[in-house]
């Protein structure tokens, strides 16, 4: 039986269908989770997809962080549940203080949809173990508030403890400090990524298949333990 | 009167109207002529109430009633080729086309020109929102959008206000709504200064059985308004804004622009799809231009019924809004449904799940009257058809402009032409860097093209291509095209050239062109010269569609695109939809496989009237546009689709603005490889002429013979020009441009202009 993974739909989630497809392509079974349900349905891993939860009219992710499903997700994540936040999902995880730092307006103040190269620097997470250390991959960036920021102490700690999961290479597209494209929690089970690996799972509809590794990694984690 | 031109909230009842026939009414301020006002009085047998006047003023506006264009638009239906694929045609919210495997698609293009000039960000944003609701109202899930944009000169200060605002508005709305933006156009010309064109196209997908009707049937059925609250925004958008030319006080029209909330629209989309799936919708209509006036009148007229509406039940954003304001408001993100009484609870439950406000505001009746109450008193009592269908119809005077002959006689043959290798090289680079032909990434990078994961081709490809079925690979391709310069010189030919280009762009990907939508952007219909342009363009498009066998399924007319006495170039924008049998066999434009043969398809002659070269190098627009040969277009499309299906071509790109030179440069830039080609004598004509019915393709070496046979069978001239490879675009014996240099010229322009 395929491993089952949850994909949360908040009001305004947009890439939930894409995240579900990526889980399928990697050999898993996606299970939809609804923002209004205080229930993770016993799933062993959860993805918070991209989009504009609640329109992002306030600070991105600031409202979604209070959704009923988050009251279950936050303690589960602190207890070790593998959680991946992509784009808006990353913003929500930062707002929920499951990940350090915050995402702010792009340096150019415009939304950017561009194919980017990122280097996987942290392979010790359940979401990145199928990549090799410092492997460069091609994925899609599409965000208006994707500039990662954190204070000096946090940055120093992230670097020292290897919590930077991915950095942009070949140019910083949005002004993220230290070219940071993704980070993980101290324990490593929670990962946030600004670019979209779920849009790089098929050369027909994206820049290649480099993004599949995030989904195959967690499936292998769920199967192997 | 309030500042917005809406009568203040004093209840003007039907009884009062009957009793006070002489009361002066603001019909002129609301955009009605004195004859139209007299006609309303005649229809009602009394003066209209303030609320009724509001309804007629928006419903009889040019924008809603098509009163100046109707007599011409009939040609689309009259000369439509028989098409078994057409499931719903003109007159519906959008046309619906059968694409096989049980799927149908619905698509339509619509203008939001006037609001986008007055308030670029919200004007363009709500243009996207409006067309998406049209598609949603047909029962379909919207799956992609395209935008066709035209502005004044790129260097003009006002363009720097309008263009970034328009693009940001489309980006804001479309991205937040979660629809991939897969194509469109961007053009610049001084004629669009003060009159930018913002045309948005949306395409949606449904199963055949899901088709919905905009009809209120079944007396006793509930009328439910759902989505956003009604506020004082967009009041008179259809009448005072979209149906009038700009003058000196245009900033005062800002309250007539709507304000968009894409988050609510996203919820509305998902909510509607769930309502459809639950089978609780008997009829549905989106609220766009003319808001509740239009939705109630059209639903009741469409169903041949009546409707009773309690305006006090309408949820308001501003409690000060009176009945006329409620009726004229164009607040966005609203829909109206007709629901059987037994399904109302389920309907409201689904709306609640999505956090969508839904309110029963009335019911369908058998009276044949549209009746509305406010504060317990009757303020509207009209026959719905009198507003929806029986508006005025004008046969506007038509006169070929006196200057037309001089324009045609101003032949580009007299212009100085480049001839040496270095001159041709410089000409190519200057065209490639000109704003209209430069790389559009500054714009298109602001749009999400990937969301929903079915985008197979998007900008800068010739057409957008969306996968419909993951199992079978079925997809649809869409392209929009228009050329104001060609249409100025000859509106009949210009419309056909726009059609031919969009048709060709769809075929290039391997899709079979199936149906047409159009957005007809013109100046004032009260100018006989403009009406001549309009009539000619419609005639050209209707006859072109008949010849190509692709029916017009719907569209939109935008008149009054003029400031003062100067109209825009007539600009028919044509959208063509094609069905792709297997998107894994899509053909991109880029040269990516070294060793492939570069083959030119079609005939080239010296055609420079209205060309990009004449425009960029000489600021010239005169002479005759390229000749139209629809039989050749059809044969070319057949070759392109057959070659794609057989897997013979690596790349294909249509030839249009800038001719072969620009097409080759774009192929090299998109694929990252150069090419080496030879062109026959008169290299200038070969490289820069804009003869129609042409494309350049890259054919795999082992497929050359099969491809040549295919071209011969369809009588399409095919000439091998050279080979893909290397890192330069080389025209043997003439010039050599490294791909990096092409890229620098192509990519620098828009960022330098817009930051």
In the residue annotation, B63 being an active-site residue is answered as yes
User: How would residue B6 be classed by pLDDT, with cut points 50, 70 and 90?
Assistant: very low
- In the three-class reduction of DSSP (H, G, I as helix; E, B as strand; rest coil), residue A171 is classed as coil
- In the three-class reduction of DSSP (H, G, I as helix; E, B as strand; rest coil), residue B731 is classed as strand
**B672 contact A CB<8A:** no
Residue B541 has pLDDT above 80, yes or no: yes
Which among B72, B112, B569, B580 is annotated as catalytic?
Answer: B112
Under 8 Å between Cβ of B62 and B393: no
- In the three-class reduction of DSSP (H, G, I as helix; E, B as strand; rest coil), residue B472 is classed as coil
A with B: how many residue pairs have Cβ under 8 Å apart? Answer: 85
Q: Across the interface, which of B178, B267, B453 has its CB nearest the CB of A205?
A: B453
- In the three-class reduction of DSSP (H, G, I as helix; E, B as strand; rest coil), residue B337 is classed as strand
Average pLDDT, chain B: 94
Half-sphere exposure of B638 (CA within 13 A, CB side): 15
Nearest-by-CA chain A residue for B165: A110
In sequence order, the 6+-apart residues with CB closer than 8 A to the CB of B64 are B58, B238, B289, B290, B294, B391
Q: Tell me how close the Cα of B121 comes to any Cα of chain A, in angstroms.
A: 13
**A15 contact B CB<8A:** yes
At B443-460, the pLDDT tens digits run 999 999 999 999 999 999
CA distance B363 to B341: 10
Q: Using the beta-carbon criterion (under 8 Å), do A111 and B584 form an inter-chain contact?
A: no
In sequence order, the 6+-apart residues with CB closer than 8 A to the CB of A75 are none
**B264 contact A CB<8A:** yes
Query: Measured between beta carbons, which residues in chain A are less than 8 angstroms from residue B176?
Result: 12, 52, 55-56
Q: Using the beta-carbon criterion (under 8 Å), do A55 and B262 form an inter-chain contact?
A: yes
Only one residue has tokens 């006036």, namely B293
CA distance B694 to B602: 5
Q: Using the beta-carbon criterion (under 8 Å), do A11 and B449 form an inter-chain contact?
A: no
Q: Cis ω on the peptide bond leading into residue B725 (within 30° of 0)?
A: no
- Write the DSSP string, B346-410: HHHHHHHHTT--EEEEEEEESSS-EEEEETTEEEEEE-HHHHHT------------TTHHHHHHS
Query: Measured between beta carbons, which residues in chain A are less than 8 angstroms from residue B584?
Result: 204
The CATH number given to whatever domain includes residue A97 is: 3.40.50.880
The Cα angle at residue B301 between residues B297 and B305, in degrees rounded to 5: 110
Task: Kindly report the three-state secondary structure assignment for every residue of B167-216.
Answer: HHHHHHHHHHHCCCEEEEEEEECHHHCCCCEEEEEEEEEEEHHHCCCCCC
Chosen for mutation from A18, A51, A110 (greatest number of chain B CBs closer than 10 Å) is A110
Query: Measured between beta carbons, which residues in chain B are less than 8 angstroms from residue A199?
Result: 450, 453
Q: Using the beta-carbon criterion (under 8 Å), do A55 and B584 form an inter-chain contact?
A: no
- In the three-class reduction of DSSP (H, G, I as helix; E, B as strand; rest coil), residue B716 is classed as coil
Q: What is the DSSP letter of B455?
A: E
Q: Across the interface, which of A142, A196, A204 has its CB nearest the CB of B583?
A: A204
Query: Measured between beta carbons, which residues in chain B are less than 8 angstroms from residue A198?
Result: 453
The per-residue pLDDT for B237 is 64
The per-residue pLDDT for B258 is 75
Under 8 Å between Cβ of B468 and B103: yes
Q: Tell me how close the Cα of B418 comes to any Cα of chain A, in angstroms.
A: 37
CA distance A31 to B384: 48
In the residue annotation, A60 being an active-site residue is answered as no
**B446 contact A CB<8A:** yes
**B345 contact A CB<8A:** no
**A63 contact B CB<8A:** no
**B267 contact A CB<8A:** yes
Give the residue among A148, A143, A180 at the shortest CA–CA distance from A165: A180
Q: Across the interface, which of A17, A113, A140 has its CB nearest the CB of B447?
A: A113
Give the residue among B486, B506, B385 at the shortest CA–CA distance from B97: B506
The per-residue pLDDT for B81 is 80
**A54 contact B CB<8A:** yes
Question: In which element (H, E) is residue B744 found?
Answer: helix B739-754
Which among A60, A121, A196, A199 is annotated as catalytic?
Answer: A196
Q: Using the beta-carbon criterion (under 8 Å), do B583 and A56 form an inter-chain contact?
A: no
Query: Measured between beta carbons, which residues in chain A are less than 8 angstroms from residue B354?
Result: 11
CA distance B317 to B291: 15
CA distance B109 to B414: 39
**B175 contact A CB<8A:** yes
Chosen for mutation from B125, B332, B356, B448 (greatest number of chain A CBs closer than 10 Å) is B448
Q: Using the beta-carbon criterion (under 8 Å), do B176 and A56 form an inter-chain contact?
A: yes
**B449 contact A CB<8A:** yes
pLDDT above 70: percentage of residues in chain B: 95
Structure tokens belonging to residue A204: 């027909």
Q: Across the interface, which of B171, B175, B584 has its CB nearest the CB of A204?
A: B584
**A35 contact B CB<8A:** no
User: How would residue B592 be classed by pLDDT, with cut points 50, 70 and 90?
Assistant: very high
Q: Using the beta-carbon criterion (under 8 Å), do B456 and A204 form an inter-chain contact?
A: yes
- Kindly provide the residue ranges of all beta strands, DSSP E only, lying in B592-711, ordered along the sequence: 597-601, 649-654, 675-677, 695-699
**Domain encompassing residue A218:** 4-224
Under 8 Å between Cβ of B327 and B292: yes
Q: Using the beta-carbon criterion (under 8 Å), do B262 and A196 form an inter-chain contact?
A: no
Residue B701 has pLDDT above 60, yes or no: yes
Q: Using the beta-carbon criterion (under 8 Å), do A114 and B584 form an inter-chain contact?
A: no
Query: Measured between beta carbons, which residues in chain B are less than 8 angstroms from residue A57?
Result: 263
Q: Average pLDDT of B41-45?
A: 96
Only one residue has tokens 């030919």, namely B493
**B263 contact A CB<8A:** yes
The per-residue pLDDT for B250 is 59
In sequence order, the 6+-apart residues with CB closer than 8 A to the CB of A149 are A101, A102, A103, A104, A176, A177
Give the residue among B539, B493, B572 at the shortest CA–CA distance from B76: B539
Q: What is the DSSP letter of B240?
A: I
**Tens digit of pLDDT at every position of chain A (225 positions):** 679 999 999 999 999 999 999 999 999 999 999 999 999 999 999 999 999 999 999 899 999 999 999 999 999 999 999 999 999 999 999 999 999 999 999 999 999 999 999 999 999 999 999 999 999 999 999 999 999 999 999 999 999 999 999 999 999 999 999 999 999 999 999 999 999 999 999 999 999 999 999 999 999 998 886
User: How would residue B8 be classed by pLDDT, with cut points 50, 70 and 90?
Assistant: very low
At B598-640, the pLDDT tens digits run 999 999 999 999 999 999 999 999 999 999 999 999 999 999 9
- Write the DSSP string, B531-564: HHHHHHHHHHHHHHHHHHT--EEEEEEE---EET
Q: Tell me how close the Cα of A157 comes to any Cα of chain B, in angstroms.
A: 34
Residue B320, Cβ density class (10 Å: 0-12 exposed, 13-18 middle, ≥19 buried): exposed
**B450 contact A CB<8A:** yes
In the residue annotation, A95 being an active-site residue is answered as no
Other CB atoms closer than 10 Å to residue A96's CB: what's the count? 22
Question: In which element (H, E) is residue B258 found?
Answer: none
Q: Using the beta-carbon criterion (under 8 Å), do B355 and A11 form an inter-chain contact?
A: yes
Under 8 Å between Cβ of A18 and B453: yes
Query: Measured between beta carbons, which residues in chain A are less than 8 angstroms from residue B444?
Result: 113
**A206 contact B CB<8A:** yes
Which among A35, A60, A72, A87 is annotated as catalytic?
Answer: A87
Structure tokens belonging to residue A160: 């020292």
CA distance B343 to B222: 9
- In the three-class reduction of DSSP (H, G, I as helix; E, B as strand; rest coil), residue A120 is classed as strand
Q: What is the DSSP letter of A59?
A: S
Q: Across the interface, which of A17, A144, A205 has its CB nearest the CB of B455?
A: A205
CA distance B337 to B364: 11
Give the residue among B452, B365, B323, B334 at the shortest CA–CA distance from B17: B323
Q: How many domains does chain A have?
A: 1
**A17 contact B CB<8A:** yes
Task: Kindly report the three-state secondary structure assignment for every residue of B99-157.
Answer: EECCEEEEEEEEECHHHHHHCHHHHHHHHHHHHHHHHHHCCCEEEEEEEEEEECCCCCH
Chosen for mutation from A113, A115, A215 (greatest number of chain B CBs closer than 10 Å) is A113
Give the residue among B382, B324, B293, B308 at the shortest CA–CA distance from B60: B293
**A144 contact B CB<8A:** yes
């Amino acid at each position: 039986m395929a491993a089952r993974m949850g994909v949360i739909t908040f009001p305004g989630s947009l890439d939930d269908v894409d995240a579900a497809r990526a889980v399928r392509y990697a050999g898993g079974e996606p299970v939809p989770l609804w923002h209004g349900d205080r229930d993770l349905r016993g799933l062993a891993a959860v993805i918070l997809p991209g989009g504009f939860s609640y329109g992002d009219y306030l600070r991105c992710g600031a409202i979604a962080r209070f959704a009923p499903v988050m009251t279950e997700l936050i303690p589960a994540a602190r207890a070790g549940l593998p959680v991946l936040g992509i784009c808006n999902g990353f913003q929500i995880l930062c707002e929920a203080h499951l990940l350090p730092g915050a995402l702010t307006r792009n340096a150019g103040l415009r939304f950017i949809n561009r194919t980017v190269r990122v280097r996987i620097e942290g392979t010790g997470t359940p979401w990145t173990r199928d990549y090799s250390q410092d492997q460069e991959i091609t994925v899609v960036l599409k965000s208006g508030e994707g500039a990662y920021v954190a204070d000096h102490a946090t940055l120093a700690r992230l670097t020292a403890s290897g919590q930077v999961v991915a950095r942009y290479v070949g140019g910083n597209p949005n002004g993220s400090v230290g070219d940071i494209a993704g980070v993980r929690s101290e324990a490593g089970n929670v990962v946030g990524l600004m670019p979209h690996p779920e849009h790089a799972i098929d050369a027909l509809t994206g820049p290649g298949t480099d993004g599949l590794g995030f989904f195959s990694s967690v499936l292998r984690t769920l199967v192997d333990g | 009167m309030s500042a917005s031109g809406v009568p203040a909230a004093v209840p003007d009842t039907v009884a009062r109207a009957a009793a006070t026939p002489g009361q002066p009414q603001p019909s002129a301020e609301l955009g009605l002529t004195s004859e139209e006002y007299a006609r309303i009085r005649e229809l009602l047998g009394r003066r209209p109430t303030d609320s009724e006047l509001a309804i007629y003023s928006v419903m009889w506006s040019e924008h809603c009633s098509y009163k100046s264009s109707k007599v011409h638009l009939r040609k689309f239906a009259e000369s439509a080729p028989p098409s078994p694929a057409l499931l719903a045609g003109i007159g519906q919210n959008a046309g619906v086309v059968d694409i096989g495997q049980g799927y149908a698609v619905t698509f339509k293009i619509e203008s939001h020109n006037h609001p986008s000039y007055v308030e670029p960000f919200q004007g363009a944003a709500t243009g996207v929102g409006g067309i998406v609701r049209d598609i949603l109202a047909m029962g379909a899930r919207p799956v992609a959008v395209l935008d066709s944009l035209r502005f004044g000169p790129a260097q003009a200060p006002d363009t720097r206000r309008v263009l970034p605002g328009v693009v940001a508005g489309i980006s804001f709305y479309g991205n937040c709504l979660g629809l991939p933006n897969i194509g469109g156009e961007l053009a610049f010309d001084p004629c669009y200064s003060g009159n930018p064109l913002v045309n948005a196209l949306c395409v949606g997908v449904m199963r055949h059985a899901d088709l919905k009707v905009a009809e209120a049937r079944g007396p006793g059925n509930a009328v439910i308004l759902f989505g956003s609250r009604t506020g004082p925004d967009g009041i008179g958008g259809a009448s005072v804004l979209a149906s009038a030319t700009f003058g000196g006080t245009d900033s005062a029209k800002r309250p007539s622009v709507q304000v968009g909330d894409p988050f609510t629209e996203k919820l509305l989309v998902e909510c509607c799809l769930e309502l459809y799936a639950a089978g609780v919708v008997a009829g549905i209509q989106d609220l766009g231009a003319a808001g509740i006036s239009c939705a109630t009148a059209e639903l009741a007229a469409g169903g041949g019924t009546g409707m009773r509406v309690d305006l006090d039940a309408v949820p308001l954003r501003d409690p000060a809004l009176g009945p006329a304001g409620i009726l004229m408001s164009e607040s966005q993100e609203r829909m109206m449904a007709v629901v059987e009484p037994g399904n109302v609870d389920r309907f409201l439950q689904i709306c609640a799940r999505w956090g969508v406000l839904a309110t029963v505001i009335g019911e369908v009746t058998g009276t044949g009257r549209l009746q509305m109450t406010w504060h317990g008193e009757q303020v509207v009592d009209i026959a719905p058809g009198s507003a929806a269908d029986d508006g005025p119809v004008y046969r506007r005077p038509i006169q070929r402009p006196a200057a037309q002959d001089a324009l045609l006689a101003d032949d580009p043959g007299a212009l100085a032409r480049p001839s040496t290798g270095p001159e041709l090289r410089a000409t190519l680079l200057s065209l490639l860097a000109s704003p209209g032909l430069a790389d559009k990434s500054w714009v298109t990078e602001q749009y999400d093209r990937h969301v929903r994961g079915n985008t197979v081709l998007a900008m800068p490809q010739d057409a957008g291509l969306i996968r419909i079925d993951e199992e079978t690979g079925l997809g649809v391709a869409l392209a929009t095209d228009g050329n104001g310069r060609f249409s100025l010189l000859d509106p009949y030919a210009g419309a056909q050239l726009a059609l031919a280009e969009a048709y060709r762009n769809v075929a290039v990907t391997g899709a079979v062109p199936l149906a047409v939508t159009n957005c007809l952007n013109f100046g004032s219909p009260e100018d006989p010269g403009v009406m001549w342009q309009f009539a000619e363009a419609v005639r050209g498009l209707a006859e072109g569609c008949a010849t190509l066998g692709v029916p017009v399924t719907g569209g939109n007319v935008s008149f009054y695109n003029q400031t003062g006495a100067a109209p825009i170039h007539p600009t028919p924008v044509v959208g063509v939809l094609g069905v792709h049998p297997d998107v894994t066999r899509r053909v991109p434009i880029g040269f990516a496989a070294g060793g492939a043969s570069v083959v030119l398809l079609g005939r080239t002659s010296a055609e420079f009237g209205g060309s990009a070269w004449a425009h960029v190098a000489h600021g010239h627009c005169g002479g005759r546009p390229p000749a139209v040969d629809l039989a050749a277009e059809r044969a070319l499309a057949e070759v392109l689709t057959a070659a794609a299906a057989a897997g013979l071509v690596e790349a294909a790109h249509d030839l249009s603005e800038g001719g072969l030179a620009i097409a080759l440069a774009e192929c090299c830039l998109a694929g990252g490889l150069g090419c080496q080609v030879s062109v026959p004598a008169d290299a200038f004509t070969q490289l820069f002429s804009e003869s129609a019915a042409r494309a350049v393709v890259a054919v795999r070496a082992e497929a050359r013979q099969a491809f040549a046979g295919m071209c011969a069978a369809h009588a399409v001239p095919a000439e091998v020009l050279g080979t893909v490879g290397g890192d330069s675009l080389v025209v043997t014996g003439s010039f050599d441009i490294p791909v990096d240099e092409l890229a620098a010229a192509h990519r620098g322009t828009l960022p330098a202009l817009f930051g």
